[in-house]
Structure 1
Amino acid sequence: MDWIDKQLLRLKDKIKAQSLRKTMSLYIFIAIIAVIIFYILTIAFCKSWKGLVYTKYSIDINSYVPIEALVKLEPIDKVILYGARIIRVYSIVIYSIIAIIITSNLFYKNKIKAPIEILKEEAKYISRNDLSFSCIYNSGDELGEICEAFDSMRLQLIKNNENIWSLMEGQRQLNSAFAHDIRTPLTVMQGYTDLLVKYYPQGKITEEKLLQTLNLMQSQLTRLKQFSEKMKDIQDIDAIKIRQKLYDFKLLKKKIQEIINGINIKSNIQINIFNNLKESKGYLDESVVLQVIDNLLSNAISFAESNIDIILEWEDDFLYIYVRDDGTGFSKKELYSALKPYYSIRKGMDGHFGLGLSICKVLCEKHGGKLTLNNSTKGGAIICASFFAIVDKK
């Protein structure tokens, strides 16, 4: 019995994995066979009853029966013969109707009911903005694929909600941090202004002290201007559209060298470019890639001791750009928080980061890649920027 149960279970799973069209065809085929078998059995049954009646009156069932012989039959025998004829004529219709009802019910119960119930339940949960219900139906048919698509949609909605909440939280923290950082120079300027208002009319401030105070106020104004420009940069980055075009990778090293030549670097820093790109052409947005490289180089130059390496690599339709310096590297806190805008704003221009890394992260993600931070095994920081860029095989 165990073997039979196992085989039946395997057959059931095999049928369950079939498409709706194939399953319906199988059900119809079985129903037709069943109708034919029952109809043949019914004909045989009716014929046997007819034979019993004819035998009672010594009538040959295979020969012609005159009307006079049938008139002599008893009423009960006439009813039996009439009933047998009616059953024989209409049984095929009755069996067909029954087969249709049974087949449709079985098809609905075995192939449609369960996934429909799951989809209805999933729709109820989604309508309540509850994405905790998993729309899973293990079947290889079309409804199984629909359930799988619904579950993928649910997971994507969860991901989208998380991204929205992350963006909202990031914006909230960004605004909070910006307000915090802008408050400091404003407080300093307020103090200097109060000092001038109180003591300058009394002649207690010398010209030298006045110029010194004005210079300090000017530095705070410059700081405020830098903050506002950085905030504008973030808003502009969000509006950037990626426009990938066929690009010759041979130009990339040349463009990077132009960036290096244009950056005001310390005279003792050596910048090396290692081009490991085997592919010749691919689709990417040059301006976005170069902007990321520019920001990463600016960051690396600020903390390198004497050497910076730029490594270009390609793998699985992704362009990887590594920028490695020989500075102190990232602390544990910096590895976790350096890509957050609010963290970098609080560090400002004098800290380890500006908004450059946060901007690079956004640009990489817009280009289908990502930005990762690590410490090199040789010491110093290493930042990897990746960009999705399909290679031209021609």
Structure 2
Amino acid sequence: MAKIIGWLQLKNMTLLQSFIFLCCLTLITVMAVITLEFEWAERIRLRYADDSSVIGWVLPSLVTMVLLTVAAGIVLMAILFYRWKLKEPLGMLMKASEKISANDLGFHLSYDSKDEMGELCRVFENMRGQLERNYKALWRSAEERQQLNAIFAHDLRTPLSVLKGYSDFLTTYLPAKKISEEKLLEMVQTMKVHIVRLENYTEAMNSIQRLEDMPVNSRETDMHHLTSLLNESARQIAGQYAKSFDSSIAVDSNKIAVDSDLVMQVFENLLANAARYASSRVKVHYRFCRGFFTITVTDDGTGFSDEALQKAKLPFYRGEIGDAHAHHGLGLYICKVLCEKHEGGLHVENGSDGGGKVMASFFAELINS
């Protein structure tokens, strides 16, 4: 029977089809056995027709065998149905549930069947995959938040130490009037500078939190219109730094679906960063490939140092730029957060001809015009 069931590809049947098939198969088998039992009873009756004691137990025996045959057929059908349709997928689902309960999501659930149990296993695998992605994203977010807090605490240590030192100094010498008004005014001005730094750091932390909570609203966008807006913004930013700008594009479609506001925010941060470090020129290349809209910004400056290549995307990293206090070192970190929210990423490297090179990618649904 197992070979027959395998030959008929029972796994490709739905549960209802399989149940009906097994019922019919069981019914045919039971009817054949009952027919044999009736033939046996008839032979006994004919053979012992003159012996009333034998004839007396033939009918009860026949009824008992028929009932036992029907019961055995039902039990056998249930066992076969469970074995070929339920046992394997239920066992897989139970093991998968135990692993998920133990926070072990590094497995794959695969059950090759076209019935409802196969579909259930596929849905369960999709759920596991989504849980794994969410867990990794949550873990990555927690690590980044921990890293951000550590960097934030490190950068706060200097202004707090300065303020504490000045506070102790004033507490000690001000009552004794051992500080001149000029020195006192100088200390107050210095303390004010560090207080402003603390305020700016706090505002920066709040802005990062708002970025992480910002939703992504992808909408159908005309590619040429979008790149025109980006180019116009780039010219203005480059002009502020007295740098030239040019762009190129390699896109096969007229329309894509992206969050234009988010793309614009990332683009302006990249342009401002490139223009700040460029010697004279900033170049931008737009590309759509394999479902991602990519913006590559290069400059003709000195490029990233080895340290910057490792830390450029970290929050509050300012490198060795002369006006380090003019910004908080959040530009590339903001771009990284926004790109990842748009299911893309940010890559930093040095160009083949020198200068910095930053590639921002955004998941973008292609819309053929």
TM-score (norm 2): 0.81
Relative to structure 1, the CA distance from residue 233 to residue 133 in structure 2 (aligned partners, 3 Å threshold; closer, same or farther) is closer
Counterparts of 1:133 and 1:285, CA distance in 2:
32
Q: Which secondary structure does the structure 1 equivalent of 2:208 belong to?
A: helix
1:377 pairs with 2:352: yes
Counterparts of 1:53 and 1:153, CA distance in 2:
69
Question: Does the 8 Å CA contact 1:374/1:381 hold for their aligned counterparts?
Answer: yes
In the TM superposition, what whole-angstrom CA distance separates every residue of 1:146-201 from its partner, at most 9, and x where no partner exists?
Answer: 33433443443344333323322322222222122122123334555666774895
- Equivalent residue, structure 1, for 2:261: 287
Counterparts of 1:250 and 1:76, CA distance in 2:
102
Q: 2:120 aligns with which of 140, 146, 149?
A: 146
The one-letter code matched in structure 2 to 1:391 is: L
- Equivalent residue, structure 2, for 1:78: 55
The one-letter code matched in structure 1 to 2:97 is: A
Relative to structure 1, the CA distance from residue 134 to residue 243 in structure 2 (aligned partners, 3 Å threshold; closer, same or farther) is closer
How far off is 1:289 after superposition? 0.8
Counterparts of 1:373 and 1:13, CA distance in 2:
58
In the TM superposition, what whole-angstrom CA distance separates every residue of 1:39-68 from its partner, at most 9, and x where no partner exists?
Answer: 3322332333334346xxxxxxxxxxxxxx
Q: 2:340 aligns with which of 350, 356, 365?
A: 365
1:113 pairs with 2:87: yes
Aligned pairs (5 A) from 1:96-111: 96-111=70-85
Relative to structure 1, the CA distance from residue 123 to residue 347 in structure 2 (aligned partners, 3 Å threshold; closer, same or farther) is farther
1:188 pairs with 2:162: yes
Segment of structure 1 superposing worse, 349-358 or 138-147: 349-358
Q: Which secondary structure does the structure 2 equivalent of 1:344 belong to?
A: coil
Question: Does the 8 Å CA contact 1:324/1:382 hold for their aligned counterparts?
Answer: yes
Aligned pairs (5 A) from 1:39-118: 39-53=34-48, 73-79=50-56, 83=58, 85=59, 94-118=68-92
Question: Does the 8 Å CA contact 2:105/2:132 hold for their aligned counterparts?
Answer: no
The one-letter code matched in structure 1 to 2:197 is: R
Q: Which secondary structure does the structure 2 equivalent of 1:391 belong to?
A: strand
Relative to structure 1, the CA distance from residue 115 to residue 253 in structure 2 (aligned partners, 3 Å threshold; closer, same or farther) is closer
- Equivalent residue, structure 2, for 1:37: 32
Segment of structure 1 superposing worse, 93-102 or 135-144: 135-144
Counterparts of 1:331 and 1:104, CA distance in 2:
71
Question: Does the 8 Å CA contact 2:235/2:245 hold for their aligned counterparts?
Answer: no
Counterparts of 2:201 and 2:263, CA distance in 1:
24
How far off is 1:17 after superposition? 5.3
The one-letter code matched in structure 2 to 1:244 is: S
Counterparts of 2:55 and 2:4, CA distance in 1:
50
1:356 pairs with 2:331: yes
Segment of structure 1 superposing worse, 187-196 or 379-388: 187-196
Larger Rg: 1 or 2? Answer: 1
Counterparts of 1:346 and 1:330, CA distance in 2:
9
- Equivalent residue, structure 2, for 1:70: none
Q: Any stretches of 5+ residues in structure 1 without a counterpart?
A: 1-6, 55-72
Relative to structure 1, the CA distance from residue 40 to residue 219 in structure 2 (aligned partners, 3 Å threshold; closer, same or farther) is same
Q: 1:11 aligns with which of 6, 9, 13?
A: 6
Question: Does the 8 Å CA contact 1:317/1:388 hold for their aligned counterparts?
Answer: yes
Q: Which secondary structure does the structure 2 equivalent of 1:138 belong to?
A: coil
Relative to structure 1, the CA distance from residue 347 to residue 137 in structure 2 (aligned partners, 3 Å threshold; closer, same or farther) is same
Relative to structure 1, the CA distance from residue 142 to residue 375 in structure 2 (aligned partners, 3 Å threshold; closer, same or farther) is farther
Segment of structure 1 superposing worse, 23-32 or 216-225: 216-225
How far off is 1:331 after superposition? 4.4
Q: 2:225 aligns with which of 247, 251, 254?
A: 251
- Equivalent residue, structure 2, for 1:167: 141
Relative to structure 1, the CA distance from residue 299 to residue 389 in structure 2 (aligned partners, 3 Å threshold; closer, same or farther) is same
1:388 pairs with 2:363: yes
How far off is 1:86 after superposition? 5.3
Q: Which secondary structure does the structure 2 equivalent of 1:339 belong to?
A: coil
Q: Which secondary structure does the structure 2 equivalent of 1:372 belong to?
A: strand
Q: Any stretches of 5+ residues in structure 2 without a counterpart?
A: none
TM-score (norm 1): 0.76
Segment of structure 1 superposing worse, 216-225 or 29-38: 216-225
Counterparts of 2:195 and 2:160, CA distance in 1:
9
